Amino acid sequence: MKAGLLAGGAAAVVILLPSSGSAQSPAPCDPGQTAQVQVTTKDVVHRKKDAPLYATHEVLFSADVSADASNVQLTPQPGVKVLKPGSNGQKVDIVIPAPPSLTITVTWDQPAGVTRCSASKTMTLPVLEASPAAIRFPGKRAPRHDQHNVTFYVVPARTGESLSPIDVTLRRIARPELPSPHARALKWSVPMRPGERKRYAKKIPVLGPFLSQAKACRYWYLSCGAVFSEVDATTRQGAQIRNLSFRQPSRFAAPTGILMQTDAVGPSPRRFGFDIQVRQDHRLIARYRRAGVCRDAPGSLGGVVNDCEVSVVKNFPR
C-alpha cells in the first residue's frame, strides 16, 4: 500500500501558521489623544540652535514628543541626503535641500489607556538660498615674472554660505605650454560638511620635517614633479590650520575654506604649464592657467635667484 502511494506520487500539504514573533503596528491614535511634538535643529558647522535653514548646510534634527513615546522616527522628504539616521528621533543628521522648503514627518507610538497607539505629524520648514564661495587671490597684481606661483583662497560667505564640496581639478605638464583640456586631470573633492568626513582603516605618515619628499608626495601633496601643488584648510581669518591629504582626501573637512598653492619646482630650467579649476555646486568659481620657464640665475647681491619667463597668465576671476 505504501509502495503504491509512493509510486503514484505524494501530494505535499503545507499549513501556514501565524508567527509567534510577528508584531502588529499599534492602531492610529484618536485626534484628541495625539501628543504634541516639537522639532529642534542645530547647525553642525556654526553650532547654532533653531537658526534659519540654509541650503547645503548640515543640520541635526531632533523630535521631542510630549508623551512616553517610543519608536520615534524623523523622516525628511524623498531625495534629501541623510548623513546619520540618529536614534529614536534624536540627532538625525540631514543636508538641507534647495529652497523653498523642507518637509519633515515625525512618527511615534504613545500610550493609549492600557495599550499604545501610533501618531504622526508633518511640518514644512522654510529654506533659504546659500551663497557661493568667493576667491581671494593676493598675487593678482604681482609682476608677470612672479606669476609662476599661484596661491589663492576659497572663502565661504560669512552668512548663509554654501557648504557643498569644493571640487579642485589640476592639469599640468613639464613643458612651457598649457596642458591639453583632454589631458589626465588630478581631481580632489574637499568636503565642507563635517558629516562627510571619512574614516580610514590605515594611518598615513604625519607630514613633518622628517618625512621624506617621496612619502610627502605620495600621501599628502596634490601634485609633485614639474608642478607642485598642495591644499590646506584655513580659518575664517585665512590662516592655514591643517594640511589636507590627497591620499585620504576626506579625512578632514574644510568648513571655513581652503588655501591652494601651486608653483613650478625642480632643477633648472623648470619648464611648466598648469591649469587649475575650482567648482562648487558644479559652478566654476576659479580658474588659473600658467606656462613658462624658470631658471636659477646669479643674484645681484650674490647667491641664486629664481628667474622666470611666464608666457601665459590667465586668471578667472580677474
- Pairwise pLDDT comparison (179 vs 11), residue with the higher score: 179
Q: pLDDT tens digit string along 246-261? A: 999 999 999 999 999 9
Domain co-membership, 253 together with 310: yes
114: which 3 cell numbers?
492600557
Average pLDDT, the chain: 91
Does some domain include residue 92? yes
pLDDT, mean of residues 270-294: 97
Q: pLDDT tens digit string along 226-239? A: 999 999 999 877 67
Q: pLDDT tens digit string along 203-222? A: 999 999 999 999 999 999 99
For residue 192, pLDDT beyond 90: yes
Which of 79, 97, 128 finishes a domain?
128
pLDDT, mean of residues 18-36: 76
Q: What pLDDT was estimated at residue 278?
A: 98
Domain co-membership, 251 together with 115: no
Model confidence at 107, pLDDT cuts 50, 70, 90, reads very high
Strands 53-54 and 115-128: parallel
CATH number, residue 70: 2.60.40
Does some domain include residue 13? no
Does some domain include residue 10? no
Q: What pLDDT was estimated at residue 239?
A: 76
For residue 100, pLDDT beyond 70: yes
Which of 113, 128, 143 finishes a domain?
128
**Stated pTM of the model:** 0.85
Domain co-membership, 55 together with 100: yes
For residue 136, pLDDT beyond 50: yes
Model confidence at 24, pLDDT cuts 50, 70, 90, reads confident
Domain co-membership, 168 together with 107: no
pLDDT, mean of residues 184-208: 94
For residue 104, pLDDT beyond 70: yes
**Can you tell me the distance from the alpha carbon of 208 to that of 219, in angstroms, rounded to the nearest whole number?**
12
Q: What pLDDT was estimated at residue 99?
A: 98
Model confidence at 276, pLDDT cuts 50, 70, 90, reads very high
Domain co-membership, 85 together with 143: no
Which of 128, 147, 179 finishes a domain?
128
For residue 12, pLDDT beyond 90: no
Domain co-membership, 165 together with 306: yes
Does some domain include residue 39? yes
Domain co-membership, 222 together with 304: yes
Does some domain include residue 49? yes
Domain co-membership, 150 together with 122: no
Domain co-membership, 119 together with 150: no
Does some domain include residue 21? no
Q: What pLDDT was estimated at residue 15?
A: 38
Q: pLDDT tens digit string along 159-189? A: 999 999 999 999 999 999 999 999 999 999 9
Does some domain include residue 16? no
For residue 11, pLDDT beyond 80: no
For residue 6, pLDDT beyond 50: no
**Can you tell me the distance from the alpha carbon of 238 to that of 260, in angstroms, rounded to the nearest whole number?**
12
Domain co-membership, 200 together with 62: no
Domain residue limits at 42: 32-128
Q: What pLDDT was estimated at residue 65?
A: 96
Instruction: Count up the domains in the chain and report the number.
Output: 2
Does some domain include residue 5? no
Domain co-membership, 265 together with 237: yes
Q: What pLDDT was estimated at residue 300?
A: 80
For residue 26, pLDDT beyond 80: yes
Q: What pLDDT was estimated at residue 13?
A: 39
Domain co-membership, 171 together with 308: yes
